[in-house]
Amino acid sequence: MEKNYYIQPKDIQIDEIYKRGATGKIYAGTFKNQKVVIKIFERSCKEFRNEILILTHLQNKAHHENIVEMIGYHETSNGKQFLELSHSLESTNFIVLEFVSGGSLFDKYHQLRTKKQKISEEKITQYAKDIASGMKFIHELNIIHCDLKSWNLLITEDDRIQICDFGFAISNQKIEQNFDEQNTSLFGCWNPPESLNNFQQNQFTQKTDVFHYGLLLFEMVSLQQPNSFYSKLKKFYQSEKNQNNVLFDLVSNDAGSCNKEILQIMVQCFQKDPEKRPTFEDIVNKFN
């Protein structure tokens, strides 16, 4: 039987602001004595409804340890802005998620850069496997995340990764989605090569997520956002020397020291032809 995820606002206690997201503020709080995160949407928007539909679809199939759990949601036709802790949640759209204590992977990168430290190879492999495992499950249900980046990866208390933020996700199966097909702002400046000249939402495939997984691995190894590296990738894609050995040298030179397995996966994820990139099932199998 499918679970009813609807939540009454009276059951929510908001304690403090946790962080600010792209579509609103995120608060720490409690729901029936359980510590949770309340993701409040400042307006009635398609990302709110989309995230509910995607997470409900995923959770009705199975609970996956590498995907953040939705506790429930509240939806109102008003969708008014939530300004202060003293305001009522009755007229606000919000999603309640499990509390993940370690912050985002992006936050961890910043902390390590400040201390001039690196992530150990063992931990990089574990994180990479966690992300690939979660994405394998997502893709098996015909969903494309479309916004896979370090901001949207949370670190649990036992130092494992959970994937979050499904507001831009799309499904090959129609699960009552109402997604704006003209949205072209998902990846910022890190579009996959097949979308460099003509970026359209219907070009998104599971191999788009795989390309962004490669960028995540690069960021994990180098502790740098891939802006400069991505510029070099674009030149590589536009050149006539589109060969594997050239791509291997480009990735290894910019990523720095990392184990051979991670380096090879990055090179495979950055193949210009999407069909030549691995699936997440392929990637998980490499780690097993």
Is a pLDDT exceeding 50 seen at residue 71? yes
pLDDT at residue 242 in the model: 67
* CATH code for the structural domain at 9-98: 3.30.200.20
Query: Can you give the residue ranges of every domain in the chain?
Result: 9-98, 105-287
> Exposure string (b/e) for 71-84, b if CB count within 10 Å is 16 or more?
bbbbbeeeeeebee
Please enumerate in sequence order all residues whose Cβ is within 8 A of that of 215, keeping only pairs 6 or more positions apart, or say none.
Answer: 149, 190, 226, 230
Which pLDDT belongs to residue 92?
A: 82
pLDDT of residue 240 exceeding 70, the answer is no
pLDDT tens by residue, 242-269:
688 899 999 999 998 888 999 999 999 9
Determine which of 146-160, 195-209, 234-248, 264-278 has the lowest per-residue pLDDT on average.
195-209
First to last CA, the chain: 33
The three-class DSSP label of residue 25 is strand
What pTM did the predictor assign? 0.90
Mean pLDDT of 29-48: 86
Q: How confident is the model at residue 83 (pLDDT cuts 50, 70, 90)?
A: very low
Query: One fold for both 9-98 and 105-287?
Result: no
* Cβ 68 vs Cβ 154: under 8 Å: yes
Q: Is the pLDDT of residue 35 over 70?
A: yes
Say which DSSP state 42 is in: S
With tokens 């051979």, the residue in question is 260
Residue 187 has pLDDT above 60, yes or no: no
- Quote the percentage of the chain above a pLDDT of 70: 83
DSSP letter string over 169-194? -EESS-SS----TT---SSTT---GG
Superfamily of domain 105-287: Transferase(Phosphotransferase) domain 1 (1.10.510.10)
Looking at residue 22, its pLDDT comes to 65
